[in-house]
Amino acid sequence: MVNRKEAHRVFEILRLLAQEYSEATCALHHDGAYQLLVATILSAQCTDARVNMVTPALFRRYPDAHAMARADLDDLQELIRSTGFFRNKSKSLQGSARRLVDEFDGEVPSNMPDLLKLPGVARKTANVVLGTAYGIASGVVVDTHVGRLSRRLGLTHQKSPVKVEKDLMDMIPRDEWINFAHRLIHHGRRVCQSRKPRCEECAFADLCPRIGL
């Protein structure tokens, strides 16, 4: 249970996030659920900016699950090489595409259990697709920014993304889950950066244990 003082602090953090980043959305460029799925798989251990440089050519060559399922693996690897771990990612992309074609008529499912059946898809990727493509708040996206900032803000002390997500889901109202992740990611990129957080510019400084709350 969250005590009243902490609940008020969480409310203020959510309010200020909404005030500072009201227009925050997913930074991965995509057109539809399938492209978002592919881009999110590619974003593992890679910046969104790099993924956005790679995906236009990738989607021209393989625009949907049917095309990706038939892709030449060597060609696919070359197209995504600069995102890192390209061999594993290419296998995940083709494996998920084949599963989509075989079991879901090439369409990306809109529920967590079916998404988790896809190669290369864990809860973070599934939450991105469900929240951004379908508007379904199935959980909280926990990427490196969300994990780091949630710990800095004292919203969790966990390091495992699954445990961080559980703490956030217990603390944050469900109708805020999708926007909370988008907004916190933007804050992590712009202000609360990993090596040198710009605390003097932070709207949440008075609410942050790092500053001595």
Give the pLDDT score at 212.
43
pLDDT digits (tens, 9 = 90+) for 88-134: 999 999 999 999 999 999 999 999 999 999 999 999 999 999 999 99
Hey, which residues are catalytic here?
A: 124, 143
Question: Smallest Cα–Cα separation from 57: which of 41, 38, 23, 80?
Answer: 80
Give the pLDDT score at 4.
87
pLDDT at 187 over 80: yes
Where do we find the tokens 């916190």? 184
Binned at pLDDT 50, 70 and 90, residue 211 comes out as: low
CATH code at 187?
1.10.1670.10
- Dihedral of CA 124/129/34/97: which sign? positive
- 122 with 68, same domain: the answer is yes
Give the pLDDT score at 3.
84
Looking at 76, 99, 134, the residue that finishes a domain is 134
Find the mean pLDDT for residues 45-74.
Answer: 97
Looking at 134, 152, 171, the residue that finishes a domain is 134
pLDDT digits (tens, 9 = 90+) for 79-89: 999 999 999 99
Binned at pLDDT 50, 70 and 90, residue 166 comes out as: very high
Three-state DSSP string of the chain: CCCHHHHHHHHHHHHHHHHHCCCCCCCCCCCCHHHHHHHHHHCCCCCHHHHHHHHHHHHHHCCCHHHHHCCCHHHHHHHHHHHCCHHHHHHHHHHHHHHHHHHHCCCCCCCHHHHCCCCCCCHHHHHHHHHHHHCCCCCCCCCHHHHHHHHHCCCCCCCCHHHHHHHHHHHCCHHHHHHHHHHHHHHHHHCCCCCCCCHHHCCCHHHCHHHCC
Binned at pLDDT 50, 70 and 90, residue 204 comes out as: confident
Give the pLDDT score at 101.
98
Question: What's the token pair of residue 170?
Answer: 């217990």
**Torsion over CA of 117, 123, 124 and 127, rounded to 10 degrees?**
90
Full domain range(s) for residue 54? 33-134
What is the share, in percent, of the chain residues with pLDDT greater than 70? 98
- 91 with 145, same domain: the answer is no
Looking at 76, 110, 134, the residue that finishes a domain is 134
- 46 with 72, same domain: the answer is yes
